[in-house]
Amino acid sequence: MAYDPNNIFAKIVRGEAPCFKVYEDAHTIAFMDIMPQAEGHVLVIPKEAGETIFELSDESTAALIKATKKVAAAVKSVVKTPGVMLAQLNGAAAGQTVFHVHFHIIPRSGGIDLKLHAKETANFEQLKALAAKIAAAIK
């Protein structure tokens, strides 16, 4: 499958679609997942176009991992969760639904099940408030 430059994440990179941004640098953007699997679910994407991690340059891949680590630490602190799951899916067979490379940062606590992926849209005012807290916690 060829990369679709009109996917929602490509539009976010270009500023053509809104998001609740928590972090941005020269190579990446991190924002709240609007259909979170847990409170504090954040997505981190590279600005470089690529459907899977295998198409990214080494520089973009390194920047993506660095940003994911930085944002995940802030999410863990703000949500006050004992664990954080990082997920990165490559291809439809792996469960990827938006075909632009991205990491999921999903806070985890023992005994609390994840919500189904992409099934329920979160309250935007709550996402906006949480995004501001996470953004403020990023060092």
Domain boundaries of the chain, sorted by first residue: 8-137
- Residue 112 CA, chain-centre distance (Å), reads 20
Residue 116 has pLDDT above 90, yes or no: no
- On whether the CB atoms of residues 89 and 117 are closer than 8 A, the answer is no
pLDDT at 139: 79
| Fold designation for 8-137 | HIT family, subunit A (3.30.428)
Residue 123 has pLDDT above 90, yes or no: yes
Region 5-22 average pLDDT:
97
Q: Strands of 1-139 (E only): list them.
A: 21-24, 28-32, 42-46, 83-87, 103-108
Structure tokens at 60: 């973009």
What are the counts of helices (DSSP H) followed by strands (DSSP E) for the chain?
Answer: 3, 5
Task: Decide if 104 is catalytic.
Answer: no
Region 91-96 average pLDDT:
94
Residue 81 has pLDDT above 80, yes or no: yes
**From 27, 102, 104, 117, the catalytic residue:** 102
Say how far apart CA 10 and CA 3 lie, in whole Å: 10
pLDDT at 27: 98
Confidence of residue 118 (pLDDT cuts 50, 70, 90): low
pTM for the model stands at: 0.94
**Mean confidence (pLDDT) of the chain:** 94
Summarised one tens digit per residue, pLDDT across range 69-80 is 999 999 999 999
